[in-house]
Amino acid sequence: MMNTFQFDTALLLVALPEIFLLSSIVVILLVDLFLTKGFKQVTYYLTQFSLFITGLLAFNLIGHPETVIFSNSFVLDNMASVFKVFMMGATMVAMVYSRHYLTQHSLFRGEYFVLVLLSVLGMMVMVSGYSLLTLYLGLEILSLSLYTLIAIARERSGAIEAALKYFVLGAIASGLLLYGMSMIYGISGSLNISEISAFASDANLGSRETLIINFGLVFLVIGIAFKLGAVPFHMWVPDVYQGSPTSVTMFLSTVPKIAAVAMLVRILIDGLGAMHPYWSDLFMVLALLSIALGSVVALMQTNIKRMLAYSTISHVGFIMLGFVTGVVTGYGAATFYVLVYVFMSLAAFGIIILLNKKGFEADQISDYKGLSKHSPWFALMMLIVILSMAGVPPMLGFYSKFFILQQLVSAGFVTIAIIAVVFAVISAYYYLQIIKSMYFEDSEKEIVVSAPMDMKLILSINAILILVIGLFPDFWMKLALSLF
Amino acid sequence: MVSLSDYLILSAVIFCIGLVGIFINRTNIITLLMCVELILVAVNTNFIAFSHFLGNEAGQIFVFFILTVAAAEVAIGLAILTLLFRNKGSINVDVTNSLKG
């Protein structure tokens, strides 16, 4: 099919959030150069403002009829808009928490905010990517900004080591993904997702074509699993989580997961949905391994960031199980799960950052001893978050697991659902350990919460919403389902 | 006449050299960066070969983007390497072992 070159300014409105964000990145980068020492906070406020406006623009586009622009390489549909709104919201919350951390550890620099905005731009391109080229470019904008963001703590050798490991493994993952893309391009003759889909769902596909698609598919699945952090491609996750500055860990463990799921949906469901029987088997193995290893290895961790890394791995396993089902409701449950995960993870890292002081990281589980005596309110907030991660009703985390398991059982994967539940129960042990040290152990160290008011407020709202939305999850579940 | 499969075999070989190089290399991090480049070169060969034999330009355009991204990637990789040298005084793979558990 020939694509005629067309340029109509009205079409640009479809990409308005991205265009606005890109322009504000350029402005913020320039403004930051001219700010004197006392006015560095302006960068922070400008960042929040541009994220807010971008989110508003994306919100306005919800309900817009599905449109494909830029020679079939950029799509706007409901999933893209809703994901973008969630990404903006999560990034804004992450920036509120980050500011406290950055000022405490004298890392407050304009580049930090510019790099975060750039990676958000990359994620928006990924969410809206409708050809393999746009998806790849979005992924690289995201990854390159994240590598730099980790290395922003120049003097910490742990952070540099984490950046290097993330860089090398991320580059391998991109290479594998690209190799898969080249195979898919070679057999289908197009980079466009809808044309690939038309090719793959052709009923008289020869066995040779199916073989080559499957060959490429394996590489694509490995690349995506690397980016999501699923076992056995999880080696970078614990090291990067532990080594990075906590505010960066918080950011890279939350928002990019939404983008990775969006890329998964674009490539494997929109593009190669017809190949579902082939890739769902791979996914099943990856998901079960992730849940098992994530739950068991986390038991032995003493560093809370490392423990949360393994907990992320097992959450990723649950998300992947949603895609194994192969039904629209299952995909909806997985989407719901990833949004809930982002919400919980933000609150958990928020509390770690809250207890940070100058020269003190609060990253050992023993640092939480006696938190209930020194700060009963935030101990309660941590309790809500941890119970939600463990999947205790009526927290939000329970419903996200429940919907996934429900879809698995109704799709006939009863054994897999049982295995997942068993490991979820095992993982409850290490979550409860944190609660035990907060409530039943005492420490001689005084815990002082020195965070500014805005952070305390947002963190409390974040944690309470986990409980409140958990009581009324219907609306959000319906929203997640309506995206497919 | 060089056929499509010749190009594909060549690129598969380069790809494997790159991948194996990353996993068996235990000495220098610069070698890791070279292996990553090899993987990207293999992908580029694939794209150009497919693009030529399909008579479709999209693959060659993709290659331009991969080249650009690879340049940016190496710039960042070398910058991280400089920081590593400043912090640890060495760029051997075995200095990156403080994070574990």
Which residue of B lies nearest to A162 if distances are taken between CA atoms? B99
Given a cut of 70, whether residue A1 has pLDDT beyond it is no
Mean pLDDT across A422-440: 89
Residue B65 within any structural domain of the chain: yes
Asked, as a colleague might, if the bond just before A393 is cis with ω within 30 of 0, I would say no
* DSSP element (H, E) containing A69: strand A67-69
Rounded to the nearest integer, the mean pLDDT of chain A is 89
What pLDDT does A358 receive? 80
Q: What ipTM was predicted for this assembly?
A: 0.94
Least confident stretch, A235-244, A273-282, B34-43: A273-282
Domain residue limits at B48: 26-93
Mean pLDDT within A422-443: 88
Average pLDDT estimate for A413-438: 90
> Tokens for B74?
């190496």
pLDDT, residue B10, reads 94
> Could you tell me the pTM of the whole model?
0.92
Q: Is B19 part of a structural domain of the chain? A: no
Answer yes or no: is pLDDT of A174 > 60: yes
The model's pLDDT over A337-393, given as tens digits with 9 standing for 90+, comes to 999 999 999 999 999 998 888 878 888 888 888 888 888 888 899 999 999 999 888
pLDDT score of A6:
61
Which residues on A lie below 8 Å from B79 (Cβ)?
A: 148, 151
What's the whole-number mean pLDDT along residues A141-162? 91
Q: What is the pLDDT of residues A59-118, one digit of tens each?
A: 988 888 888 888 888 999 889 999 999 999 999 999 999 998 998 888 888 899 999 999
Distance (Å) from the alpha carbon of A80 to chain B's nearest alpha carbon: 23
> Structurally, how many domains does chain B consist of?
1
Q: How confident is the model at residue A58 (pLDDT cuts 50, 70, 90)?
A: very high
pLDDT value at A225 more than 60 = yes
Chain B residues lying within 8 Å of A132, measured CB to CB: 62
B2 found inside a domain = no
A175 touches B at CB < 8 Å: yes
Dist. CA A77–CA A67, nearest whole Å: 7
Q: What is the CATH number of the domain that holds B30?
A: 1.10.287.3510
- Does B90 reach chain A within 8 Å, measured CB to CB? no
Q: What per-residue confidence (pLDDT) applies to A453?
A: 87
Please give the pLDDT value at position A218.
93
**Judging by beta carbons within 10 Å of its beta carbon (0-12, 13-18, 19+), is residue A185 exposed, middle or buried?**
buried
The verdict on residue B81 lying in a domain is yes
Chain B contacts of A163, Cβ < 8 Å? Answer: 80, 83
Give the contacts of A342 (CB within 8 A, at least 6 positions apart). A86, A90, A254, A255, A257, A258
Residue B52 in any domain: the answer is yes
